[in-house]
Amino acid sequence: MLRSVAVAKTRLPQSRLILRNLSASVSLRKEASRTAAAPLGRQRSVSDINECVLNAKYAVRGAIPLRAEELRQQLEENPGALPFSKIINANIGNPQQLGQKPLTFYRQVLSLLQNPEIIERLSSDELSKAYQPDAIRRATRMLEEAGGSIGAYSGSQGVPAYRQSVANFIAERDGEPANADDIFLTTGASAAVGYILQLFCSGPQNGALIPIPQYPLYTATLALNNAQALPYYLEEESGWSTDPEQFEKIIKDAINKGVTPTTLVVINPGNPTGAILSEENIEGIFEVAAKYSLVVIADEVYQENGFNDVEFTSMKKVLRVLQKTQPGSYDNVQLVSLHSTSKGVSGECGQRGGYMELVGFSDEVKQVITKLVSISLCPVVTGQALMDLMVRPPTKGDASYELDQKERNDIHRNLSERSSMLNSAFQSLEGVSCQKPQGSMYLFPRLHLTQKAIAKAEAQGIAPDEYYCKELLEHTGICTVPGSGFRQVPGTYHLRTTFLAPGTEWIESWKEFHEKFWDDHRD
């Protein structure tokens, strides 16, 4: 059963109850299309909607966050009405929503790109109060590279000079050449996932191997493409590592059922798990990819978010070593590596910057991708510029350098400390276990829920971990995502929480909640 993995039973707020009966609507729809080609004189309703869209789920903005939004509005209208004073949005990696300050250098350059006139309007003395000289030089150059205005469409692949910056960054990171022609700037990394899955994984006869637990963008995009999600499990006990041994069986089972696996998704550092893959794990993945011609999507958007001295190695670097040490065996491997301006120490989610690097793709395929991306004209140009800034920060000797370094180090230290603190809290809680955080912005603790808790959840018609998350939200204002939204080994329960929220009070209130919850739900 390819689709037997535990899936979130979406519990919807009161106003959305009607959506519960979607499967009923869907069968109605089939009935309708059999009996009447055009439904005369009525409205098109949920029963007329593309089933693939109905089937797609995206828990990060699902029932629990929707309920949090309702509670936030209640608090706005009546601040004393609830047992907490604010909502802590730990459901989504959105650092600036939780008070993380943007890097000064980025914002100086971006503001000059929007309003270069200021350079003429102020004297250089005045200007120097608000802008470092290297920021002004950089903005002037980047504006020219964008053709004179960031309000013009760029080429669909992105501004050539910005793509060159990305290629330089990759070359330096990996010690291996990178080519600007292989770089596509995108509207966040999500857009890149959409393009690649649309290309290679469309229709029920195609499938993508996805890690479980996974970031739900993948299952959602596969559902939109009516393609199959072929789950492979990460091993919680060994720090959410990947066992490449399991792939052979999954692939053969899929083929026996008439499904061709075309794509293999790797999220490293892991979301929601926070794990960083070992080089051995990555090598094993490429071995399978080479054998079965799987396009590897390497979701590496958390590559800057490493902690506890565990080092991130890019999949491309590992691939290049394999190709050198075992000539011929890995020449056919195709890799798409994703990065984003939303994570790392940048945290500029709302600016929607991203890139994908295509490794091992023919010119013909790249031309098809260019055509596909051109249908949406171009990624937002300020997001492209931000990507250039992210991969090419100030260097020693630049006026912005010292402050930039300080800001980066502060953010990094903060994240690292908070991840440890939250992990310690989980270790101290009864019935909770948590793998040591290595990277990303999340912890994914396991909840060893009691039969009583499970029965209560069932009585409410929701998944057990959703029940826990809901109770947590209603009592503390802390908004998390149930593990079922990411899929998990059936019979296990988790939740994903970011450790981005400042302060420690919320962690204390979580502990208090948990102790009471556990006492109330003893078997």
> How many amino acids of this chain bind a copy of itself (CB under 8 A)?
115
Q: Which is nearer to a copy of itself, 217 or 501 (CB)?
A: 217
Bridge partners (DSSP) of residue 88 are: 478
The DSSP code for 339 is E
Instruction: Provide the token pair at 223.
Output: 């559902």
Q: How far is the CB of 29 from a copy of itself (least distance, A)?
A: 11
- Interface with a copy of itself, residue 115, by CB under 8 A: yes
Q: Which of 31, 126, 280, 512 touches a copy of itself (CB under 8 A)?
A: 126
Q: Which of 107, 317, 412, 511 touches a copy of itself (CB under 8 A)?
A: 107
From 39-47, 265-273, 403-411, 461-469, span contacting a copy of itself (CB under 8 A): 39-47
Question: Binding marks (x or -) toward a copy of itself, 258..297, rule CB under 8 A?
Answer: xxxxx---------------------------xxxx-x--
Q: How far is the CB of 428 from a copy of itself (least distance, A)?
A: 31
Q: Which is nearer to a copy of itself, 187 or 509 (CB)?
A: 187
- How far apart, in whole angstroms, are the C-alpha atoms of residue 464 and residue 9? 10
269, 438 Cβ separation under 8 angstroms: yes
- Interface with a copy of itself, residue 204, by CB under 8 A: no
Helix 188-200 and helix 217-224: axis angle, to 10°?
A: 40
Instruction: Provide the token pair at 493.
Output: 């329960």
The DSSP code for 246 is H
- The β-bridge relationship of strands 334-340 and 241-242 is unpaired
Q: How far is the CB of 306 from a copy of itself (least distance, A)?
A: 22
Q: How far is the CB of 426 from a copy of itself (least distance, A)?
A: 26
- How far apart, in whole angstroms, are the C-alpha atoms of residue 390 and residue 484? 34
- Interface with a copy of itself, residue 74, by CB under 8 A: no
- How far apart, in whole angstroms, are the C-alpha atoms of residue 479 and residue 462? 17
482, 10 Cβ separation under 8 angstroms: no
- Interface with a copy of itself, residue 72, by CB under 8 A: no
- Cis amide linkage into residue 269, ω under 30° from 0: yes
Q: Which of 166, 167, 217, 266 touches a copy of itself (CB under 8 A)?
A: 217
Q: Which of 67, 87, 188, 509 touches a copy of itself (CB under 8 A)?
A: 188
Of 439, 409, 443, 411, residue with least CA distance to 424: 443
Task: Measure Cα distances from 322 to 151, 331, 356 in Å.
Answer: 43, 9, 21
Phi/psi region, residue 477 (left: phi>0; alpha: psi -120 to 50; beta: rest), is: left
Q: How far is the CB of 181 from a copy of itself (least distance, A)?
A: 12
Q: Which of 2, 28, 39, 420 touches a copy of itself (CB under 8 A)?
A: 39
> CB-based burial of residue 204 (10 Å sphere; 0-12 exposed, 13-18 middle, 19+ buried)?
exposed
Q: How far is the CB of 367 from a copy of itself (least distance, A)?
A: 6
Q: Is the sign of the CA dihedral 161, 167, 169, 172 positive or negative? A: negative
Q: Which of 54, 161, 212, 399 touches a copy of itself (CB under 8 A)?
A: 54
Question: Binding marks (x or -) toward a copy of itself, 374..393, rule CB under 8 A?
Answer: xxxxxxxxxx----------
Q: Which is nearer to a copy of itself, 37 or 81 (CB)?
A: 37
- Interface with a copy of itself, residue 212, by CB under 8 A: no
- Interface with a copy of itself, residue 421, by CB under 8 A: no
- Interface with a copy of itself, residue 49, by CB under 8 A: yes
- How far apart, in whole angstroms, are the C-alpha atoms of residue 8 and residue 353? 30
The DSSP code for 84 is S
Residues of this chain, 241-260, that bind a copy of itself according to CB under 8 A: 251, 255, 258-260
Of 352, 357, 345, residue with least CA distance to 164: 357
Residues of this chain, 308-337, that bind a copy of itself according to CB under 8 A: 332, 334
| Number of other residues whose CB lies within 10 A of the CB of residue 413 | 10
Question: Binding marks (x or -) toward a copy of itself, 349..378, rule CB under 8 A?
Answer: xxxx-------x-xxxx-xx--xx-xxxxx
Q: Which of 92, 170, 411, 473 touches a copy of itself (CB under 8 A)?
A: 92
- How far apart, in whole angstroms, are the C-alpha atoms of residue 211 and residue 166? 27
- Interface with a copy of itself, residue 415, by CB under 8 A: no
Question: In whole angstroms, what separates CA 409 from the centre of its chain?
Answer: 23
Q: Which is nearer to a copy of itself, 33 or 405 (CB)?
A: 33
Question: Binding marks (x or -) toward a copy of itself, 138..167, rule CB under 8 A?
Answer: --------xxxxxxxxxxx-----------
